[in-house]
Structure 1
C-alpha cells in the first residue's frame, strides 16, 4: 500500500512510499482509508516537536474515515463493509490502517468521510473540554480564540449546542465571518487593539465564563485579564509558539480554574489506560456528536481535500494561517 513515511524528522524528509499493509491485531479493524484529517499536530509530530513523539521511520496521521475491510477475531461491533471513523496514534496518512475496536466508531450514512475526520480529535476534544471538563452551562459566555481554525469552529458549534453565548476572536474579517456562519454571537478582530476591552464591553465588564484557547502565549496572558470570576480557561494548544506560565496570584484573586484536557487519555493513548467505563462514555459522546452532524446541528468545514501525494502542500498551508476549518487527504 501507499503511505507517507517519515524517515528523518522534518516535513522535507517525508515522502510517499510503498509499504506493507499493517498487521491485523486480535481486536483490530482494518480500514480502507477514504479520508484522513490534516492538523497542526501532525506537522509537529513530523517535525519531532509534539509531546507524542514517534521515532522514525513512521507514518503520521491520527484521524481517519473509511470502510472496514477486515476484523480481528475479538471484534464484536463491526463487520467488513461498515462505514467508520477512527482515531489512531499514528499511521493515518496511508491507504490502510488498523485501529483497535475501542477507537472505531460507526459513521452514519448522512455524514461524509471528509466531515467525519473532524471528529476523532478536534470535535471530540472540544466536546470533552466544554461539556465534561469545564461543564459549560446555558447562558454562560464562551470566548473562543483561533475561531476560524478547526478547533475554534468546533468549540463555537459545540458551545452553541450547549446553550452558551459565544464570542469569537480571530485575526481577519473573513475568518470572523466564517465564525459567525458557524454560530458566533460576538466577533472580535484582535489585530485591532487586542481583545480584552472588547470582551469586557460585550459582557458588561464581567468577562468570559469559559475561555477556549488553542493559541497560547500572549493570547493566554490577555485572556486572564478578561475572564469572569469563577471562570475556567482551557489551554488547548500553543499554535502561537509559546507555552504560557500561569501566575498563581491571578488564579487566587479571581477564583480562576485552569483546565487541562488530553483527549488521548480517553482514547487509551496515555501512559496509563483509562478505566473500562471510559470506553462507554466515549462511544456515547461520538454517537451524540455524529448524531448532531447528521441532523445538521454541526457543520464541519473542510477547507480543501488533497490527494495523498500532495501531503506536503496540505501541511505547509497550515503554517500560512490560511486554512479555515480543516483540510483532508484522500489516499
Structure 2
C-alpha cells in the first residue's frame, strides 16, 4: 500500500536622512509540495528519510500534505484542478494511475529510470516501490490457512477476514482486481461466497490491520511483505501470508508531477531521486514494500523472494470495466 512558500522581505529603513544600511536577509528556499498518504510521511515511514536525503541536494524544502489513502489524494487533486498547490502526487499505483492520467493534470516526466527490476514505460509516472496483495495470518492462531479464495469460501462462517473498501483504499481496489484476474466471470460468485467471512470492510488499510492485530479476525487483506515488518521491527516470526494457488496481483506505487506545478524541474528531480540507491534503501524497512531496483544484500533476507505466479490486469480493461467490477463486488457483499 501521498504527500507530500512563501517569501518574506526584510529591510531596515532609517528614520532619518541617513543612507539605508544593508543587512543580511535570509534567503528562503523553494518549497516542493508533495501530496501523499499518511503512513508515507509519518515519522516511522519513508518520508522523513527521503525528505532529508533530497533536501541535502536540492537546496529546497519538502512540505507534505497527507490524506488517509492514495485514492483520497487523487480525489483531492481532481477537485482542486489546476489550482492545486501540489507539485507532486506520490503513492498512486498502477490501479489508479490510468484514472489519474485521464484527468490531464499530470505532466510527462521526461525521465528514463535506470536499473528497474520491473518492466516500465510510463510517460507520466515513475515507480518507487511495489508489493503483492495477500491475506496475512498468525501461524499460532491459524496453523492451516486457506490456500485459495475457493478454499476460504468453503470454511465455516466463523472464519473471519477484514478487507478494505475499494472506493477509498488502494488495497481494497487491488482485492477487486485480484478476484477479477483470478476468476473473471465468476468474480461475483466468489464475492458472494466471501460475504459470510467478511467481519467488516474498512475505509483504509491501517484500520483493517489494526482489527486483525487486535484478534478480531483470522486474516486481513494486506501484502506479502507485511510479515517482514513483524520479523524485522518486532522480532515476531509468527506472521505469514496465505499461499493462494491462484497467484497474486502486484501493486506498483508511483509518483507524478502536476502540470500546474510552479516547481516543475524540482519536482522532476525528486522523481529521479526516488529511484536512486540512496532513496531505495530507505523504502523496504519504512514502507515495507519491495524496492524497484536491485539492492542486493541491502534488502533484508526477511523479505524473501516475490511470488512467482503473478496475475495482471490490463490498464485499458481496467479503465473500461473497473467501476463495474467494484460495483459488482459491493453488490455481492451487501
Give the structure-1-normalised TM-score. Answer: 0.29
Specify which structure has the higher proportion of helix: 2
Give the structure-2-normalised TM-score. Answer: 0.29
Q: Please identify the structure whose Cα radius of gyration is greater.
A: 2
Specify which structure has the higher proportion of strand: 1
Higher relative contact order (CA closer than 8 Å, sequence separation 6+): 2
